[in-house]
Structure 1
């Protein structure tokens, strides 16, 4: 076990939708305990960016949960089945972006601090590793292929979340295709980016919120986006919308220093 370094994994799973957590080791699952309802309930995805910090989407926390209602699980392939090598943490505190707009999901980003008695929280294993934040100047070409992962619904109208982690491959859409005109006149701001599968096979869906859009750059796995919103799931020529992480690098660094 070592300290968490962000770097590209040694292998990737090609094709097929079901994935092993070892292929997405920065992927976190966030659970909530509701008052009056027994048990822990899957809330949203998250992205481990350092030993004690994870990113997620602001809209996941609109109910204003207390920290002791939340738990973060790392290293789990199956959504509901605990695994021998998983790492579980209570949440020390979490910060929702102060300018999050619940009407149009602008600034849809949250940062969670893991709670640990030790100086470090998560330790690096074969199934737990941090993703990298992008460099401020990173510009990826349009149509770059990237990956999404999550335990979200398999189909737009499915009543159930997936029991098993899934992955998808999507391409970054040009800014000209990431506008209200392509998204049923919903507001699209410059703090959002769009990605979709030009084969119309893969897309994020309900329950994937807060999870990662990651792209390989110079042997690093960079978190480019946070799964935020969309019109349905996987509809032809309609991309999914993601929080553009590179717009929030200062906010992330400042929040981690608080």
Structure 2
């Protein structure tokens, strides 16, 4: 269902900028975890090449993909892209599918906190949610696998965590699922993340807070029976995030992969 950005104020939209005509094309979702940092999926940046920060832009506070609201939205240049050094798409499953994006405005500022723009909490490292736990996903992705266009408006849906045992069973994804991933879906197979939602948040309530438990990563089509959405398990990357954000404070490289 359509969702005001105030209900998902950490949602980021990642755009790729065409070198030919300087047009911006919607690429992926993301989540604001720090005023200067967005976390997204590694596969949002084409593999086999070092993504150039100047080829991307990030907008926060967006409700409609094709409309700009100068009063609510905040636009940013990308200063740095840190894709996980062990990201891999070799098995048809995306492993270590996480990237950090450092943002700054034209005037060198990070995000300002408003009703439409807020950071999301990261989960505690030992958080392991049980199968059946209800969480929320959001993004501008396609409404069905066969849709031609992305959703014009921000949408959010409720999905349920699926136990690792079930997701690793043969009728689901078998050996494609490893400890860096988990599955979440709809028991009726009507709701799922889809193309264009990649990089966006899976948010769960824990101790009275909304925490970023997963990053929308991959799946077999969308809302297909026994093929739920697969998410990057955020608890496995808290140290990696902390280390790279700290290093970046002192290093000025355009691209780090280490």
Scaled by the length of structure 1, what TM-score is found?
0.89
**Structure 1 stretch displaced more, 59-68 or 188-197:** 59-68
Superposition deviation, residue 123 in structure 1:
1.3
Paired with 2:13 and 2:165, the residues of 1 have a C-alpha distance of 33
Superposition deviation, residue 142 in structure 1:
1.7
Secondary structure of the equivalent of 1:181? coil
Is structure 2 residue 26 aligned with structure 1 residue 39? no
Secondary structure of the equivalent of 2:170? helix
Superposition deviation, residue 116 in structure 1:
4.2
Which structure 1 residue ranges, 4+ long, deviate > 6 Å from structure 2? none
Deviations 1:70-117 (A, max 9, x none): 111000100121112101110110100000002231000000011247
Gaps (5+ residues) in structure 2? 248-258
Q: Residue 59 of structure 2 is aligned with which of 60, 68, 73?
A: 73
Q: Residue 196 of structure 1 is aligned with which of 181, 185, 192?
A: 185
Q: Residue 140 of structure 1 is aligned with which of 120, 123, 129?
A: 129
| Match in the other structure for 1:48 | 32
**RMSD between aligned alpha carbons?**
1.6
**Structure 1 stretch displaced more, 63-72 or 170-179:** 63-72
Gaps (5+ residues) in structure 1? 1-16
Change (3 A) 1:139 1:82: same
| Match in the other structure for 1:110 | 99
Q: Residue 83 of structure 2 is aligned with which of 96, 107, 114?
A: 96
CA contact (8 A) 1:180 1:188 kept: no
Change (3 A) 1:205 1:61: same
Secondary structure of the equivalent of 2:145? coil
CA contact (8 A) 2:97 2:217 kept: yes
Secondary structure of the equivalent of 2:176? coil
CA contact (8 A) 2:15 2:56 kept: yes
Secondary structure of the equivalent of 1:141? coil
Superposition deviation, residue 199 in structure 1:
2.9
CA contact (8 A) 2:76 2:106 kept: no
Paired with 2:35 and 2:193, the residues of 1 have a C-alpha distance of 26
Number of matched pairs: 242
Deviations 1:46-79 (A, max 9, x none): 0000110110000011253311111110001001
Is structure 2 residue 10 aligned with structure 1 residue 23? no
Superposition deviation, residue 155 in structure 1:
0.7
Scaled by the length of structure 2, what TM-score is found?
0.89
**Structure 1 stretch displaced more, 28-37 or 125-134:** 28-37
Superposition deviation, residue 229 in structure 1:
0.2
Secondary structure of the equivalent of 1:48? strand
Q: Residue 164 of structure 2 is aligned with which of 172, 175, 193?
A: 175
Paired with 1:182 and 1:245, the residues of 2 have a C-alpha distance of 25
Paired with 1:184 and 1:110, the residues of 2 have a C-alpha distance of 24
